[in-house]
Structure 1
Amino acid sequence: MVSHSEHVREIERVGQGLATGRDDVVVKSWLRCLDQHKLDPAQTCEAYILPELRLREHRQEAEDLIRIARSGLENLYNQVAGQNYVLLLSDRQGVTVEFLGDPSFDNNLRRAGLYLGSDWAEARAGTCAVGACLETGEALTIHQSDHFDTTHTPLSCTAAPIYDTEGGLSAVLDISLLSSPILKASQNLARHLVAATVRRIELANLMARTRHEWVLRFARSPEFLDVDPEAAISIDGRGHIIGMTHGGARILARSAGLDWRDPQNLIGQPISRFFDIGVDGLVDLTRRRPTEERLLTARDGNALFAHAIEPQFPVGRSAGKITTLSATRRLGGAVPVITALEDRIAKLAPTALPILIQGETGSGKEHLARVIHDSSRLKGRFVAINCAALPEHLIESELFGYLPGAFTGASPKGRKGLIEQADGGTLFLDEIGDMPLALQTRLLRVLAEREILPLGGAEPKPVNLRIISATHRPLQQLVQEGRFREDLFYRLNAAVFQMPPLRDRPDFEWLLAALLDRHRTEGPPLHISADALAALKAHGWPGNIRELNNVLAVAAAVCDDSRIELIDLPEHLIAARTSKAETSTPSRQADDGAALEILLSSCGWNISEAARRLGVDRSTVHRQIKRHGLRASH
């Protein structure tokens, strides 16, 4: 074991650019500690254990991960039983949120930081396995004097990153010893075991989150394909990638010549971009065929054995009820705000409850209403009425219909109204906030009595339908102003859905891919350049999805070689992008860093919440944090 003074001198030599026999990952970490984190190697620092309240917050945020990982942790701990190993599961901030170790060593483990609540972020603890793993995104071993702080030099720690289904680094699994043999190679087996456990945790997480989608699992050998696959991806009903394990991300990236560290280039892409197969071919890779025949070729020529698992659509507790949306009727990408919306729809769609959808113009309210109808199993039609578009003097006849000769100019055969046309199905009243008060009274009667009276008629007709209404107006305020009937308001909003505006949606690229597919006429899939994508992401989209759809329709028509460039976009988007590029000075970047730090502080450094507010994915937030050198204050 090297002395404290020798260790300090070696780190100082590294800081001076002098050669050392240390691994490259250790040297880079020492340099980060000196230059970026401003740590002093001569100043020893005991392990920091978070207070109980703050630890509870970290554990609550990591609750899903802990639950999914627990079985893998226990299996790994049993594998190394009797060898004095300690297992730490750390979150993205480097805080240990789960811990397995011999209770008889509790005091020693706590002093060493191998304990629940310990903070192993590199900025606080210096070079360590958890911190270096978070910085590099790679599995590694930090052995004894590899550690920056001499407090930790007795330890030997091996860690592997755990990635979420969208390719973001979400946690680290560490296996450590209080004392170990001198040789670093003694921990090679530990590294193998940790990497295997992480792979299984990621697979379990992917299966849990995308059980209602296609999952494609890979192995180099057919013998291990069904029992212990090496990687997996999940695919939606349109054949687009919506999730992946880290191994899956590497396979996709290698196939298309991309960087796995930029998962935005992988998520949302069609599976045909990476393999010689489309979504319709997945059924040939299920267990209906022998394992050795399930061979798939990637675009780079790499051959893999593959196992496709079909979407699972369980029936709810009541017969006929559904508990999940059809894969072909997705509202968006696999992000929490959309997943929660889809889960709620799946539960409410089969009921007869009226639904009110609120959201800005063009945000997709009618599409949401159609998804609810398609998921309801109603046998009748979906009939949509835009209450703001019909002339007031025609609304009554359009809604209720009329008998022959009911008024001058009426059809001699009469006409069935839209409400009656929706009998047995769904009546969608778009922009219900613009319906005249007089007509609100008649609609209220329809809802209360379940019958209509056509113009010129004397006998009411029974109707049985589902009412879904939508508005961009604040109905509660209209009620207070006397412009909307309060009793009708409470009839319509038994269940309320909020459709988020495009600028607040973290699945922007999923929507983009879906709209590009819609505008593809023939030939290869439409692609979009990095500059064009940046311009689209930077725009505020006051017209929401409708505005984006129009922009892409024009761009798809004028672009060359199925690739949309910046020049193919409207002039105001090009001008905004050019202006932003010209003003991206160092001072502007400093302002961006300060703004990001304020945002992160306001949401307690919850990366998911920050990503939601910014309208980007979590990996983008992590990259910006690293770029600006930000870190949470304790």
Structure 2
Amino acid sequence: MISARSHVEEIAGVAMGKGSLRDAPVLQSWLRCLNDYRLDPAQAQEAYIVPATQLKEHREQADELIRISRTAVEGLFHHVVDQNYVLLLSDARGVTVDFMGDPTFDNQLRRAGLYLGSEWSENRAGTCAVGACIVSGDPVIIHQDDHFDTSHINLTCTAAPIFDTLGDLTAVLDISQLRSPTIKASQHLALHLVTATTRRIELANLMARTRHDWILRISRSPDFLDVDPEAALTIDASGRITGLTHGGFRAFARMLDLDGNVTRSLIGAPISRFFDIDVDDLPRFRRGRSDRERVIRTRSGVPLFAGAIAPIVSVRGASSSIPRMPQALRDLSFGDPAMEAVQMRASKLAGRDVPILIQGETGAGKEFLARAIHEARPNAGRFVAVNCAAIPETLIESELFGYTPGAFTGAASRGKTGLIEAADGGTLFLDEIGDMPLSLQARLLRVLSEGEITPVGGLRPKPVRFRLISASHHRLDLLVADGRFRQDLFFRLNAATLVLPSLRERQDLDGLVDHLLVRIGADEGRTIRLNAAARMALRSHRWPGNLRELANALRVASALAEGSDITPEDLPEAVQTPRAPMPAVSAAQDLAAELAACGGNVSELARRLGVDRSTIHRRLRRIKKS
């Protein structure tokens, strides 16, 4: 390993065009650090750990991926823990949202940035495995003095990308050591292990998101085809490809006579364009057939082995009346008329460049709907979610707009890219926008009007283009009337409004429960059912926490259940307690007075009295008849 001084001199030589024996991805990253990010290799920077509030937001956004990837990551860690490796799962912004390492070395790992909450984006940390992987989309080894910053040249880091089912890079899995053998080739096994693990994570993610489509697993060998295929894709009833494991399919690009962006060209295309099969042929590739019967060929004649998994047959309460719509929007409803209306409206809006405002109670699924709208769009770009209520008012301006170097006391010397700029080319989701300070509302309005952003401390605006989706549990029109929200911004945000019903107002609770149990069971590798008494307890609960409370209750019950059946005793105590009966209303005028106090809003009256909306309607009909 060379000295820090020699390292800086080598980088300076590369900047002047001198030759180097280092790998091309390393040299390309060095040049980005110098030319694009204006980093100085002579100024060593300590590893950066994001604040706790910011880390919480990153982890919440990555919650589903963390859960889906946990089994595969734990399996990898079990194999490498004796070699003192550390595993980092980073989101698409380079922030470590999950971490596994020997707790004995916690202090050393935190100082080195091999820790939960560390940020390894290339513009902050310089050349590093996570950052280079995010930029290139390819697996990479950054070994010792391949790192740009001299504070990292003791580390060896190997990373591989994780793509979502539509081809967007959603995370990076990194395997690192504080100290390492001096030969870079010693990390080739680490590269193989981390790449294989990301392939398994992509497959688990694909299967977790698929309900109505066929899954086709593909490998060059029949060995382990049904448990660890090289690639997989989903196919809808019309024979079109709806999603796939992008990392795996890159390996087949040459076979399919496609370029490196193979995965993008596959989405939406008929399966028959690439293979010698159609959707009607899929049943013959199901498990139990001989290897000889499970051979398919690419259109260029290359033989591959395939295994098919049929769609999950209709879940209880699933509606068959909903026409074809993007995959991402299908799991919103299981027979509830109000949610079906939201589905149809969201499906029509998904491809349009109009701002969308989502209204609904806390926990009703506003971010889930926003992500579904984002994912329903081809070439959607990044999805950047910002909880306006979770960021302290003193930080929200710099978080949203970013800042230039030295913009204020305590600012990072390299500046910071804001979340609005990070959403350029993708979707910006502003959750709880009703809690945004008035002063920032004016700045946001300017961004929306001008299509450009100026970082804190900056003088030159930058052009930005993004899809805007906002959400709030507040009635924004009422905030406008109270002077707490700008009217001009309100009109900008609510070009189209989607209103999510609360869980207690929905008619598809059974379907939702069954769907969640299937997903939980897939995560845990077992079948989970509700017995009749537990189902009745769920139906009787008011669900003040909506879908979030329901999902948490089922996960707790699954963990406590002795076998595959959940009983009432396994449910959280709040869910076990029967709902209180409706308080007596002695006369018609009493109910009328209560309803008038709620502004004629039946849903609000039902919330106050702790009953279903149908109970209020029933009582009103009874009064009219009497």
Equivalent runs, 1:241-280 vs 2, <5 Å:
241-250=241-250, 253-254=253-254, 256-261=256-261, 263-280=263-280
- For residue 327 of structure 2, give the secondary structure of its aligned residue in structure 1: coil
Aligned to 1:332: 325
Whole-angstrom CA distance in 2 between matches of 1:302 and 1:53: 51
Partner of 1:373: none
Query: What does 1:446-485 correspond to in 2, within 5 Å?
Result: none
Change (3 A) 1:71 1:276: same
In structure 2, what is the equivalent of residue 466 of structure 1?
none
CA–CA distance in 2 between the matches of 1:361 and 1:102? Answer: 46
Q: Distance in 2 between matches of 1:346 and 1:138?
A: 39
The residue that corresponds to 1:41 in the other structure is: 41
1:604-623 matches, within 5 Å, as 605=423, 609-610=427-428
Change (3 A) 1:68 1:506: closer
CA distance in 2, matches of 1:227, 1:49: 37
Q: 1: CA distance between counterparts of 2:167 and 2:340?
A: 35
CA distance in 2, matches of 1:185, 1:355: 55
Which of 325, 330, 348 does residue 336 from structure 2 map onto? Answer: 348
Residues in 2 aligned to 1:154 and 1:354: alpha-carbon distance in whole angstroms: 54
- String of CA shifts for 1:468-505, please: whole Å, max 9, x gaps: xxxxxxxxxxxxxxxxxxxxxxxxxxx9x9xx9xxx88
Instruction: Specify whether residues 197 and 508 from structure 1 end up closer, same or farther in structure 2 by C-alpha distance, changes over 3 A only.
Output: closer
Distance 1:84 1:354 in 2: 50
Shift of 1:357: 7.0
Matching of residues 513-528 of structure 1 within 5 Å: none
Equivalent position amino acid for 1:162 in 2: I
Cα deviation, residue 23, structure 1: 0.9
Residue of structure 2 equivalent to 1:67: 67
- Structure 2 counterpart of 1:306: 306
- Report if the CA contact (8 A) 2:332-2:343 is conserved: no
1:222 CA displacement: 1.0
- Any idea what the Cα deviations from partners look like across 1:314-349, whole Å, max 9, x if unmatched? 542xxxx33x759xx6532223xxx2xx33442326
Normalising by structure 1, what TM-score? Answer: 0.55
Is 1:506–1:611's contact at 8 Å kept on the other side of the alignment? no
Output the CA distance in 1 between the equivalents of 2:98 and 2:208: 20
Residues 146 and 330 (structure 1), Cα distance of their counterparts in 2 relative to 1, 3 Å cut? farther
1:346 maps to amino acid: F
Give the secondary structure class of the aligned counterpart of 1:80.
helix
Q: Deviations over 1:565-623 (max 9, x none)?
A: xxxxxxxxxxxxxxxxxxxxxxxxxxxxxxxxxx984497498633999xxxxxxxxxx
Q: Mean Cα displacement is larger for which, 228-237 or 292-301?
A: 292-301
2:98 matches 1:110? no
Residue 158 of structure 2 contacts residue 176 of structure 2 at CA under 8 Å; is this kept in 1? yes
User: In angstroms, what is the RMSD of aligned CA positions?
Assistant: 3.5
Q: Deviations over 1:96-154 (max 9, x none)?
A: 00000011100000000000000000000000000011111111110001000010000
**Counterpart residue type for residue 304 of structure 1:** L
Write the distance in 2 (CA, Å) between the matches of 1:75 and 1:92.
23
Given the superposition, is the C-alpha separation of residues 241 and 54 from structure 1 closer, same or farther in structure 2, using an over 3 Å criterion? same
Which amino acid in structure 2 is aligned with residue 101 of structure 1?
G
Specify the code of the residue in structure 2 equivalent to 1:54: Q
Counting only pairs closer than 5 Å after superposition, residues 344-493 of structure 1 correspond to structure 2 as 344-348=332-336, 363=348
Change (3 A) 1:218 1:115: same
Are the structure 2 counterparts of residues 629 and 125 from structure 1 closer, same or farther at C-alpha, using a change threshold of 3 Å? farther
**CA offsets per residue over residues 200-255 of structure 1, 9 Å max, x none?**
01100001111331000011111221222111001111110000002453266445
Contact 1:603 1:609 in 2 (8 A): no
Q: How many residues align?
A: 380
Within 5 Å, which residues of 2 pair with 1:456-605? Answer: 507=376, 601-602=419-420, 605=423
Q: Does 1:121 align with 2:121?
A: yes
Cα distance change on mapping 1:9 and 1:290 into 2, 3 Å: same
Tell me how far 1:161 sits from its aligned partner.
0.5
Superposition deviation, residue 266 in structure 1:
1.7
Please give the residue correspondences for 1:116-155 in structure 2 after superposition, counting only pairs within 5 Å. Answer: 116-155=116-155
When normalised by structure 2's length, the TM-score is 0.56
Counterpart for residue 210 of structure 2: 210
Structure 1 counterpart of 2:189: 189
Using the alignment, how far apart are the partners of 2:297 and 2:430 within structure 1? 36
What's the counterpart of residue 556 of structure 2?
Answer: none
Percent of matched pairs sharing the same residue: 52
Unaligned runs of 5+ in 2: 350-363, 380-416, 432-461, 467-626
Distance 2:186 2:463 in 1: 34
Q: Which one has a bigger Cα radius of gyration? A: 1
Structure 1 counterpart of 2:311, one-letter code: P
What's the counterpart of residue 83 of structure 2?
83
CA distance in 2, matches of 1:631, 1:17: 35
CA distance change for structure 1 residues 2 and 238 in 2, over 3 Å: closer, same or farther?
Answer: same
Q: Which amino acid aligns with 1:103?
A: P
Partners of 2:346 and 2:107 in 1: CA distance:
61
Contact 2:226-2:287 within 8 A present in 1 as well: no
The residue that corresponds to 2:229 in the other structure is: 229
User: Alpha carbons of 1:204 and 1:606: their partners in 2 closer, same or farther (altered >3 Å)?
Assistant: farther
Describe the shift of the 1:260–1:164 C-alpha distance in structure 2 as closer, same or farther (beyond 3 A). farther
Do 1:72 and 1:201's aligned partners in 2 also have CA atoms closer than 8 Å?
yes
2 CA distance for matches of 1:171 and 1:214? 25
Name the counterpart of 2:545: none
CA spacing shift, 1:121–1:355, aligned 2, 3 Å: closer
Match of 1:237, SS? coil
Q: 1:48 to 1:601 in 2, by over 3 A?
A: closer
- CA deviation after TM superposition for structure 1 residue 354, in Å: 11
Tell me the alpha carbon deviations over residues 524-565 of structure 1, each in whole angstroms, 9 at most, x when there is no partner.
xxxxxxxxxxxxxxxxxxxxxxxxxxxxxxxxxxxxxxxxxx
In 1: Cα distance, 2:340 partner to 2:244 partner: 34
Secondary structure in structure 2 of the residue aligned to 1:81: helix
Distance 1:363 1:37 in 2: 40
Structure 1 residues 132 and 358, CA gap change in structure 2 (3 angstroms): closer
- Structure 1 pair 356–308 and aligned structure 2 pair: CA distance change class (3 A): closer
Q: Residue 296 of structure 1: SS of its match in structure 2?
A: strand
Residue 284 of structure 2: aligned partner: 284
Cross-structure match for 1:445: none
